[in-house]
Amino acid sequence: MSAERRVIEQFDETTADLPRALALDLDAHFERLVRCYQDRIYAFCLRYTGSPEDAEEIAQDAFVSAYRALRAYPTDRIRALALRPWLYQIALNGCRNRARGKHVRLVQMQGDEDGHSEIEPEADERERPDMVLERYEGTREMGVLVATLPERYRAAIVLRHIDGMGYAEVAAVLGEPVGTVKSNVHRGVQMLREAMDRTANEGSIQG
């Protein structure tokens, strides 16, 4: 088990009582829900869409939808909720709806010839040390490549390898059998590797 996976599981212990708390008093505990999951949900939307603007909007919409749903749910249902996959599902729906509306833009991104990506990090994102390091290592392209993968591979790859979810949870979020998820992740990684080899040979795409 990698260090990354352990961190995620510890993190979940601190949220173990959240469904019960939300069922008891939604308004008192909703802020904690956002604090616990905002980075992960935002990161997921960012990697899925490749756009900080879209990601912020979709991720915010996801939490607003979650709040409204929790308002409407009976307390038994809230107590039984697996919050994390549930939130990811809401966010994924938002991403998919957005992608349907903006298909043209995604195609343009793929066909950009002079090596400039349309995806620019936000100013404050650009300043952060982890982003600077990424640029230095040349992994910025990875974000572009992921955002242009076909949808079924992209969702599976982002959940499994960027968010670090186990296959069972990925399958739950996507509503697909574990076998399908595994083969989509495998195929997606393969496509990324081929794409990276291509760009390495051409030496073109620069962040």
Partner 1 sequence: MSEGYRAPTAGTQRVLDGLHSRGNVRAPSSFLPGVLARVGLQDAYWQQGTPIGPVYVAYGEGGVSAVRQTSSPAHFEEWYRARFGRPVTQVARPPRPLADVVEQRLGSDAQGEIEIDLRGVTAFQRAVLQKTMEIPRGEVRPYGWIAREIGRPGAVRAVGTALNHNPVPLLIPCHRVVQTNGRVGEYAFGSAAKRAVLEAEGASPDLLENLARRGVRYLGDTEDHTFCLPTCAGMHRRLAEPRFVTFRTPQQAVSAGYRACDVCRPALAS
Which residue lies nearer to partner 1 by CB, 113 or 155? 155
Q: Which residue has the tokens 């195609």?
A: 107
Task: Assess 125 for contact with partner 1 (CB under 8 A).
Answer: yes
Cα separation of the two ends of the chain: 32
Residue 59 within binding range of partner 1, rule CB under 8 A = yes
Taking the complex as a whole, how short is the minimal distance between the CB of residue 61 and partner 1, in angstroms? Answer: 9
Among 53, 118, 120, 127, binds partner 1 (CB under 8 A): 53
For residue 17, how many C-alpha atoms fall within 13 Å in the half-sphere facing its CB? 5
Which of 12, 17, 39, 151: binder of partner 1 (CB under 8 A)?
39
Residue 69 in 3-state DSSP?
helix
Three-class secondary structure of residue 57 per DSSP = helix
Of 22, 23, 48, 63, the one binding partner 1 (CB under 8 A) is 63
33: left (phi over 0), alpha (psi -120 to 50) or beta: alpha
Owner of token pair 């390091």: 133
Stretch 77-116 residues interacting with partner 1 (CB under 8 A): none
**Among 79, 102, 105, 161, interactor with partner 1 by CB under 8 A:** 161
Site membership for partner 1, residue 176 (CB under 8 A)? no
Nearer to partner 1, 13 or 31 (CB): 31
* Contact assessment for residue 119 and residue 147, using Cβ atoms and an 8 Å cutoff: yes
Half-sphere exposure of residue 196: CA atoms within 13 angstroms, side-chain side: 13
* The only residue of 21, 57, 73, 93 in contact with partner 1, by rule CB under 8 A: 57
Distances (CA, A) of 47 to 86, 88, 150: 18, 13, 13
Binding residues for partner 1, rule: CB under 8 A, are: 4, 27, 30-31, 34-35, 38-39, 41-43, 46-47, 53, 56-57, 59-60, 63-64, 67-68, 122, 124-125, 130, 134, 137, 139, 142-143, 146, 157, 161-164, 189-190, 192-193, 196-197
